[in-house]
């Protein structure tokens, strides 16, 4: 590609234009002064209104930030599109801006990359070498044809020479074949290369671009805007409703679908206050989910209670006394739950109430659980006996002794239930 040398030198033009139209000038303000980073001079904070000011020294319009900083560095990319013979050429420029409160801003400009695009979509990159890592970015070397566009790091893949900028010089020329698809210098989130690759084969993308639904365009290119949402998108377009926060809007459409609302209806799809409607539906859905969870829990508890009664209904309602200790059976699933909560063990979570081979008893003093006992129904022996956090209490031995002494009650109850079952 020798022709890149024929192109007019534009660096000065781009630099002047960017200085006036692209680069943001800042002032850093403290209580006592504002430093203009364009000329390096200071002025009174009284001249600031709504975070904006015009520097009395250099007449630059500046955005004022509260900061003790006195330096700043910014990088901008701009582009110039031109038609050269059969080629659409996109020329990219980088502007490095060094601001320092001690002197005038230092702004420079380089042309770094050119895309030479043929009518058939084939293109060549004529560029300086773009050295790109997560920590550092530089342009070095000479203009050469570059073939390796893709760049990989551990967490990032990107394109070295496919530059995104919203700042095309106003004298840019775009070929008619692209304009036909709505591709011009306003591509909101797409690079020129992405646009010409994707849009001609994606009518929906073309529609979004032409209708200036730039926020949705981004979702589309991230493949999040699937068929599911397209009816709603069409309603937005028809009603000239601009989606400003596409993520919330998409979420909102999901909620509408959850509540079986008609997403062909502008009343739902185009709310005046999206955030408010979104939050309202989120809350409504959460309430429903909470109710569903509570209902599931209630049903589960009921089921357990029935199973428990069938398994151990003949072995409950028993209590015996040993000095100042009362030892009683746990008579419902609810009692297992409360016992587990009181002594911080797993009697409830591990569903001891459904164990066929044993029953549980609670040893209590003045009504408070002291230890929980699991009694085997096979040999009527204590399987385990634990107090708070599975530790033995000081009444441990006495409790075991008392349970063993009274275990025959359960043997009798078991035998009687068996006999009843046989005679029935
Ligand atoms: Zn100034």
Cα-to-centroid distance, 96 and ligand 1 (Å): 19
For ligand 1, the distance from its centroid to the CA atom of residue 187, given in whole angstroms, is 33
Please check whether residues 146 and 254 belong to one and the same domain: no
Quick one: 328 and 367 in the same domain?
Answer: yes
Q: pLDDT by residue (tens digit) across 209-250?
A: 888 887 887 777 667 778 889 999 999 999 999 888 888 999
**Residue 193 CB neighbours (<10 A):** 20
- Rounded distance from Cα 170 to ligand 1 centre (Å): 27
- Classify 400 as helix, strand or coil: helix
Identify the three-state secondary structure at position 38. coil
Same domain, 331 and 246: no
Ligand 1: distance of its center to the CA of 62 in Å?
Answer: 8
Q: Look at residue 156 and tell me if it is in a domain.
A: yes
Terminal CA-CA length for the chain = 101
Q: Do 264 and 391 have their domain in common?
A: no
Distance 24 CA to ligand 1 centre (A): 13
DSSP string across 155-213: S-EEESS----S-B-TT----HHHHTTT-SS--TT--HHHHHHHGGG-HHHHHHHHTT-
Residue 288, domain member (yes or no)? no
Q: Residue 142 has what pLDDT?
A: 92
Q: Of 247, 271, 295, which residue sits at a domain end? A: 271
Distance from Cα 157 to the centre of ligand 1, integer Å: 40
Domain that holds residue 382: 311-423
Q: How far is the CA of 18 from the centre of ligand 1 (A)?
A: 17
Check whether residue 70 and residue 107 sit in a common domain.
yes
Distance from residue 129's CA to the centre of ligand 1 (Å): 35
Q: How far apart are CA 14 and CA 92, in angstroms?
A: 10
Residues 263 and 403 in one domain: no
Q: Is residue 189 part of a domain?
A: no
| Residue 158, pLDDT score | 61
Span from the CA of 137 to the centroid of ligand 1 (angstroms): 29
Same domain, 109 and 245: no
Counting as low any pLDDT under 50, the low residues of the chain are 154
Phi and psi at residue 303, to the nearest 5°: -60, -45
Q: Are residues 167 and 227 in the same domain?
A: no
| Cβ atoms of 28 and 101 closer than 8 Å | yes
DSSP state of 271: -
Domain assignment present for 289 = no
Q: What is the pLDDT of residue 155?
A: 53
Nearest to 336 by CA among 350, 322, 325: 350
Contact 98/104 with Cβ under 8 angstroms?
no
Q: What share of the chain is helix, strand, coil (3-state, %, to 5)?
A: 40, 30, 35
Ligand 1 mean position to 21 CA, how many Å? 16
| Residue 158 located in a structural domain | yes
Q: Domain ends where: 179, 194, 224?
A: 179
Residues 42 and 156 in one domain: yes
Q: Would you state the pLDDT for residue 110?
A: 94
Span from the CA of 38 to the centroid of ligand 1 (angstroms): 5
State residue 79's pLDDT score.
96
Question: Has residue 54 been placed in a domain?
Answer: yes
Residues 260 and 340 in one domain: no
Instruction: Calculate how far, in angstroms, residue 360's C-alpha sits from the geometric centre of ligand 1.
Output: 83
Are residues 251 and 166 part of one domain? no
Residues 169, 239 share a domain: no
Count: domains in the chain = 3
Which pLDDT does position 162 carry in this prediction?
86
Please report the pLDDT score of residue 225 as a whole number. Answer: 77
* CA–centroid distance, residue 33 to ligand 1 (Å): 13
Q: Quick check: is 280 in a domain?
A: no
Q: Which of 148, 179, 210 delimits the end of a domain?
A: 179
Confirm if 108 and 96 have CB atoms less than 8 A apart: yes
Q: According to the model, what pLDDT value does residue 266 have?
A: 93
Q: Is 332 exposed, middle or buried (0-12, 13-18, 19+ CB in 10 A)?
A: middle
Residues 6+ apart with CB under 8 A from 192: 79, 81, 90, 115, 183
**Is position 305 within any domain?**
no
d(CA 60, CA 344): 70
């Amino acid at each position: 590609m020798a022709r890149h040398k024929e192109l007019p030198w534009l660096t000065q033009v781009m630099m002047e234009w960017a200085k006036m139209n692209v680069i943001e000038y800042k002032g850093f303000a403290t209580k006592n002064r504002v430093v203009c980073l364009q000329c390096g001079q200071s002025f009174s904070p009284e001249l600031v209104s709504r975070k904006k000011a015009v520097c009395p020294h250099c007449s630059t319009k500046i955005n004022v930030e509260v900061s003790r900083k006195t330096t700043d560095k910014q990088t901008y990319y701009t582009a110039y599109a031109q038609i050269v013979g059969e080629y659409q050429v996109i020329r990219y420029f980088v502007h490095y801006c060094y601001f320092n409160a001690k002197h005038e801003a230092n702004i420079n400009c380089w042309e770094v990359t050119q895309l030479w695009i043929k009518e058939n979509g084939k293109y060549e990159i004529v560029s300086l070498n773009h050295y790109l890592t997560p920590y550092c970015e530089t342009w070095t070397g000479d203009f050469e044809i570059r073939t390796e566009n893709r760049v990989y790091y551990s967490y990032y893949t990107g394109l070295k020479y496919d530059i995104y900028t919203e700042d095309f010089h106003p004298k840019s020329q775009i070929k008619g074949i692209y304009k036909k698809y709505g591709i011009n210098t306003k591509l909101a989130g797409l690079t020129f290369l992405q646009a010409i690759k994707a849009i001609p084969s994606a009518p929906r993308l073309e529609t979004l671009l032409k209708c200036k639904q730039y926020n949705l365009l981004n979702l589309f290119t991230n493949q999040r805007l699937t068929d599911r949402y397209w009816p709603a998108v069409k309603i937005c377009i028809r009603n000239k409703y601009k989606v400003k926060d596409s993520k919330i809007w998409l979420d909102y459409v999901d909620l509408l679908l959850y509540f079986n609302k008609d997403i062909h209806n502008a009343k739902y799809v185009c709310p005046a206050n999206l955030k408010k409607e979104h939050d309202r539906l989120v809350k409504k859905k959460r309430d429903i989910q909470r109710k569903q969870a509570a209902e599931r829990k209630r049903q589960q508890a009921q089921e357990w209670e029935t199973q428990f009664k069938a398994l151990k209904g003949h072995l409950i309602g028993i209590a015996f006394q040993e000095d100042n200790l009362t030892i009683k059976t746990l008579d419902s699933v609810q009692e297992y739950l409360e016992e587990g909560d009181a002594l911080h063990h797993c009697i409830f979570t591990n569903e001891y109430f459904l164990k066929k081979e044993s029953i549980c008893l609670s040893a209590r003093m003045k009504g408070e659980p002291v230890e929980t006992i699991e009694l085997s129904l096979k040999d009527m022996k204590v399987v385990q006996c634990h107090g708070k956090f599975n530790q033995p209490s000081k009444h441990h031995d006495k409790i075991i002794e008392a349970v063993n002494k009274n275990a025959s009650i359960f043997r009798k109850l078991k035998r009687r239930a068996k006999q009843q079952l046989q005679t029935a």
